[in-house]
Amino acid sequence: MAVLQKLSAAAAPLMIISLGMALDWQALSWRNMPYMLPVLLIKMLIMPLGAWILASHLSLDMRHQTAAVLDLAMPSMLLGIVFCDRFRLDSPLYAMAVTVTTLSSLLALPFWHRLLS
């Protein structure tokens, strides 16, 4: 069991290394920005707004509504880069999406938290 715990502790750092290796600085160009705008709008605005509407209709208390909204306002997942590598998808574009949503979450998360509190 101890061996498995040690091996599982390496999963997150390995995914971050994989993200760094997939990040292509030439992909950070203006021609890829039309792809990033829908990602930002959906991930940082539409999904948290939908969670807020759904949570309010489910008559959840404010703590659980805030948790639901902030959970959906989180950046894109790192595990997706593993899927992109596995299925030979556009890894640099996904790595750019993770990077852009991570940077934008620095503004989106405090915005949603302040709006809900």
Q: What is the pLDDT of residues 55-93, one digit of tens each?
A: 999 988 999 999 999 999 999 888 888 898 889 998 888
Q: How far apart are CA 71 and CA 64, in angstroms?
A: 10
Q: Which residues span the domain enclosing 43? A: 35-116
Residue 24 forms part of a structural domain: no
Average pLDDT over residues 91-111: 91
Residue 60 forms part of a structural domain: yes
> For the chain, what's the residue count?
117
Neighbours of 69 (CB within 10 A): 24
pLDDT of residue 18: 79
Number of domains in the chain: 1
- Predicted TM-score (pTM) above 0.75: yes
Name the percent of the chain lying above pLDDT 90: 48
> Among the listed ranges 9-13, 36-40, 58-62, which one has the minimum average pLDDT value?
9-13
